[in-house]
Amino acid sequence: MAVVTTRSAQILAQKLQAEGITDSSVLAAIAQTPRHLFVEPVLAHKAYENTALPIGQGQTISQPYIVARMTALLLQGNSSGTVLEIGTGSGYQTAILARLFKHVCSVERIKALQFQAKRRLQQLDLHNVSMKHGDGWQGWPSKGPFDSIIVTAAPSDVPQALLQQLSEGGRLVIPVGAEQQVLRVYQRQADEFHSQDIETVRFVPLVPGELA
């Protein structure tokens, strides 16, 4: 995989470290990934601010702190094998995962966003990503079970299909809730799922179904 570094991305990584992100591998991935490639050119001047930005279709590119926080929570499961991402969006979170996991399986319900994300990942020479246009609520059963699952939009309740696609010891990091949302981590132990609430967050809803 090609390593792409920009001064702005390095400064962003330093800001995130100052805000409490301590995982050095996550910070390195942030520093290597040019976030301006994942937003519209008119918003490129805001790309390295620690804020969410619109990407069209009613979706957003997540705040860099949240991207780093959720990724670090996944890695605390001590697995860098196969990760399932629900909500490809701009592809920025996908790119961070691709630098840290052996393989990324990413599901996106909006075809236009998926197409753009695929082009950006190819531009960065990140080829360890499989993409599917589909309903994120259903996960990707044929590719599972997964060592890790990350969800980048908020369902009102945790989709049971995602829990069932976790491998033994696997971790699911997901925002949950409607009006009030919390970032939650689930860990599988046999047929039991232990959860921990991390912090209050704000995501777009995880909408069932898929768009052409």
Tens digit of each residue's pLDDT, the chain (212 residues): 444 457 999 999 999 999 999 999 999 999 999 999 999 999 999 999 999 999 988 889 999 999 999 999 999 977 779 999 999 999 999 999 999 999 999 999 999 999 999 999 999 999 999 999 999 999 999 999 999 999 999 999 999 999 999 999 999 999 999 889 999 999 999 989 999 999 999 998 898 877 65
From residue 126, how far is each of 42, 162, 185, 210 by CA, in Å?
25, 25, 27, 25
pLDDT (0 to 100) of residue 2: 44
From the candidates 8, 24, 62, 90, give the one annotated as an active-site residue. Answer: 62
Residue (of 66, 71, 72, 6) closest to 36 by Cα position:
6
Task: Give 62-77 pLDDT, tens digit per residue.
Answer: 999 999 999 999 999 7
End-to-end CA distance of the chain: 31
Is 90 a residue of the active site? Answer: no
Q: Which amino acid is at 211?
A: L
**Coil, helix or strand at residue 58:** coil
Name the burial class of residue 145, with classes exposed (0-12), middle (13-18) and buried (19+) by CB atoms within 10 angstroms of its CB: middle
